Structure 1
């Protein structure tokens, strides 16, 4: 079976290791990348599910090189991988190689910045996670899927033997950091960096921190003499260098009062605060009824008085 739904199945052969001295097969699931927000690179990307936990870019380059030839994979983005655009003014880590990679259509770059040194020489993936493999063109994507289908046909002819599947990690020996005990030895070494490198990284961090503090102080100084919408002046640490300008404060108050008046008129015209409108109408109706009763009593008294009137003869 070469497909499950829209996914193409790609078994990979994992050779024995000291931790697990048996040959095994791992299954990858491939399909065309179709994110919720389309990008211009979707046509030349493959969405890969169930990547091995030790996956690196070099592994996928080697796998697809065995299927379509070398130089077809441009980049690989793993799930939860943090690749954020970094402002050019950030301070780079001393002793850390700067890695520049184009990110999509925006062309932003990912550079090393002032941060804590890495204490692991290789990142491990979450079990069953995903990745997006970016090829050089859409034709390479079609070629890769076609090569996988051919492998399934040849495997079926050979009665299910999996010797034709790509071998995981073949051709990249010595190009990636080792796992097992070597990984933890490297972790122990990276936890205690050289004193000179550590000092230079701390200096780089403090330089950036001082720059940010200076910018904050300048921004607070500009705010000291500028009144807000209510006519008040923000008092920052260090006091206020001068009084607020009364003309600007009065102008702000007038503008605020005008906005409040318009807002009340708009709310009333739009039918807001209906309970208040109902109460006002009830009060007006009660006033009309009261006046009507007073007029009716007045008319009755006039009629009674006119009935008792006897003109002289």
Structure 2
């Protein structure tokens, strides 16, 4: 089966390991990327579902090299993870909220990026069943990749040796897993004192910059009245009086708002006792009107006298 709904099925061959000494099968699901918020690279992107837990850009580069040739994969974005750059010259991209914060830090300068804590793992692992976005060099490459997968399904009843082998040719390009991964993790838990000192210095530099910016903002607020006509009092006192014209205009505006609010409360009663009083007044007015109409009717009858028909 080459397609399931909108997805093109791409089986992968997992090589045997010491933990499981037999080849296994893992399935990827591909479709053209169509996010809710479009971007310029959507036309040349593929949305990939069910990525393996040990996925890296090098693994996917090897897979797409086997499908459509080398040099077609431009970058990758894993779900809720920081993107590993496909080349040293490319900037780091992100997808999650936390990652976006890191992206801004990278754009603002290397000094601010150094304020992050040292990494404790040499390689990121993915969540089971997670997704990724593969950006290729052009839209034609996307069509070629999907066409190549469909062609593999048709060729010789899709022989197993024709499917891409996961991790083939990238053994020396990515950090090792297993016990070596945890040995590396243990070493990275205790960074070099010089690296740690540089991280602390960068953090303090960034802290001082933010404090200075906060002080400048507070200084500007000392002379600007708020919407109620008051001037913000910050630590250190005021440097000068507020402009009297602005404060007077704000005061008149607030008085007008209060007058309109009181008028609305008077015209539209809210409390229950006010509604009872209004109903009593309306009832008294109706009774008074009825008595007046009754007296007027009696007066009209007296003036007219008794009616005597003609013979």
- Shared fold by TM > 0.5? yes
- The correspondence for 1:209, drawn from 204, 207, 210, is 207
Aligned residues: 281
**Could you tell which deviates more after superposition, 122-131 or 84-93?**
84-93
- The correspondence for 2:177, drawn from 176, 179, 185, is 179
Measured in 2, the distance between the counterparts of 1:185 and 1:88 equals 29
Measured in 2, the distance between the counterparts of 1:14 and 1:288 equals 92
**Is 1:114–1:205's contact at 8 Å kept on the other side of the alignment?**
yes
Higher helix share: 2
Partner of 1:86: 104
Residue pairs, 1:1-313, within 5 angstroms:
1-82=1-82, 83=94, 84=100, 85-86=103-104, 90-92=108-110, 112-156=113-157, 161-261=159-259, 282=279, 285=282, 288-289=285-286, 292=289
Cα offset, 1:17, TM superposition: 2.0
Cα offset, 1:274, TM superposition: 11
Measured in 1, the distance between the counterparts of 2:261 and 2:293 equals 42
Cα offset, 1:261, TM superposition: 4.7
In the alignment, structure 1 segments of 5+ residues that lack a partner are: 95-111, 303-313
Cα offset, 1:233, TM superposition: 2.2
Measured in 1, the distance between the counterparts of 2:45 and 2:177 equals 29
**Is 2:223–2:242's contact at 8 Å kept on the other side of the alignment?**
yes
- Aligned to 2:214, the other structure's residue is in SS state helix
- Aligned to 1:151, the other structure's residue is in SS state helix
- Aligned to 2:48, the other structure's residue is in SS state strand
TM-score (norm. length: structure 1) = 0.76
Residue-by-residue CA offset, 1:57-107 (whole Å, 9 max, x unaligned): 11111101001100111111111124124167745259xxxxxxxxxxxxx
Cα offset, 1:287, TM superposition: 6.7
- Aligned to 2:18, the other structure's residue is in SS state coil
Cα offset, 1:290, TM superposition: 7.3
Cα offset, 1:253, TM superposition: 0.9
Cα offset, 1:297, TM superposition: 11
Cα offset, 1:144, TM superposition: 1.0
- Aligned to 1:121, the other structure's residue is in SS state coil
Residue-by-residue CA offset, 1:143-176 (whole Å, 9 max, x unaligned): 11111122112241xxx64111101111222111
Measured in 2, the distance between the counterparts of 1:191 and 1:5 equals 46
Measured in 1, the distance between the counterparts of 2:106 and 2:135 equals 26
Measured in 1, the distance between the counterparts of 2:139 and 2:269 equals 58
- 1:272–1:183 Cα change, 3 Å: farther
Measured in 1, the distance between the counterparts of 2:212 and 2:191 equals 31
Measured in 2, the distance between the counterparts of 1:217 and 1:211 equals 10
Residue-by-residue CA offset, 1:7-45 (whole Å, 9 max, x unaligned): 211111111223332211111111122222333322211
Measured in 2, the distance between the counterparts of 1:153 and 1:89 equals 47
Measured in 2, the distance between the counterparts of 1:213 and 1:122 equals 35
**Is 2:269–2:275's contact at 8 Å kept on the other side of the alignment?**
no
Measured in 2, the distance between the counterparts of 1:152 and 1:196 equals 55
TM-score (norm. length: structure 2) = 0.77
**Could you tell which deviates more after superposition, 81-90 or 21-30?**
81-90
> What's the C-alpha RMSD, in Å, of the aligned pairs?
3.6
Measured in 2, the distance between the counterparts of 1:132 and 1:272 equals 60
